[in-house]
């Protein structure tokens, strides 16, 4: 299939390396005909270097999803490059080391609240910031990790992801009358910066996942997850909202 996103205008957050899911989404989206704008947090020159490696170098705008001033001006800054938005990828999550790897009982509230702000509330904040430019039929897609279980090492990030799942449902409810869809993609473990805290012993966790997943799993390949995101960003699922689509090789449905 080609031209899946012909004419679509996308805002993509979370490009921080070539191994990131967001980078794979950006690359495939351009190959499928989309025009994109990337956002950069903290290190815009890094994202600009990555942007130059994409098929067509996209513009980059700065965005800290916890900064109210930057959110307030986001629509204007994106609007300098796109005359509307048909899709948004939310690929933002962060928790300090105190909140991960056995720190659930000891993490201070300041660190927990920062994790929830960045990883959960930011979905609503980003959607609201983009809302003036969102076209009817637009799609907001967030990246998730199955929050129905307590994973080793994931701790407060697991709580944040559970909040993200609830947040996406309420957003889907409130933006649905504007014909805007909100869905999440629950990925299996990938070797990205954001996934370092998942599973404690990374190699063993990856091996177990690949063994149990009926379709197998390659933690070095973000493209299957990116393709799932593209499907949700396209017009091919117009009646799907408030959903969590698993792109994990089927691991989530296998009993223990």
Question: Annotated active-site positions, please?
Answer: 154, 161
Specify whether the CB–CB gap between 252 and 246 falls below 8 A.
yes
Give the C-alpha separation, 12 to 26, whole Å: 7
Residues 94, 150, 186, 224: is their CA dihedral positive or negative? positive
Give the CA distances from residue 236 to residues 9, 86, 137, 138, 179, in Å, rounded to whole numbers and listed in that order: 16, 13, 11, 12, 14
Q: Report the run of H or E that residue 12 belongs to, with start and end.
A: strand 9-12
DSSP structural state of residue 131: G
């Amino acid at each position: 299939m080609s031209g899946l996103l012909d004419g679509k205008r996308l805002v993509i957050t979370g490009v921080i390396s070539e191994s990131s899911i967001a980078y794979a989404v950006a690359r495939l989206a351009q190959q499928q005909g989309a025009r994109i704008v990337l956002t950069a947090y903290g290190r815009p020159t890094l994202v600009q270097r990555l942007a130059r490696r994409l098929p067509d170098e996209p513009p980059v705008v700065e965005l800290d999803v916890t900064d109210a001033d930057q959110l307030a001006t986001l629509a204007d800054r994106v609007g300098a490059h796109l005359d509307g938005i048909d899709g948004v990828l939310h690929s933002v999550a962060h928790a300090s080391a105190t909140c991960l790897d056995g720190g659930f009982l000891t993490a201070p509230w300041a660190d927990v609240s920062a994790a929830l702000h960045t990883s959960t509330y930011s979905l609503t904040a980003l959607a609201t910031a983009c809302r003036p430019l969102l076209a009817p039929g637009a799609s907001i897609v967030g990246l998730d990790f199955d929050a129905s279980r307590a994973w080793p090492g994931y701790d407060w990030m697991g709580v944040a992801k559970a909040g993200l799942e609830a947040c996406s449902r309420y957003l889907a409810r409130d933006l649905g009358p504007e014909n805007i869809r909100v869905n999440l993609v629950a990925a299996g473990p990938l070797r990205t910066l954001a996934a370092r805290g998942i599973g404690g012993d990374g190699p063993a966790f990856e091996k177990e996942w690949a063994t149990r997943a009926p379709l197998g799993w390659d933690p070095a390949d973000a493209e299957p997850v990116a393709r799932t995101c593209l499907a949700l960003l396209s017009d091919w699922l117009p009646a799907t909202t408030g959903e969590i689509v698993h792109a994990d090789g089927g691991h989530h449905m296998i009993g223990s």
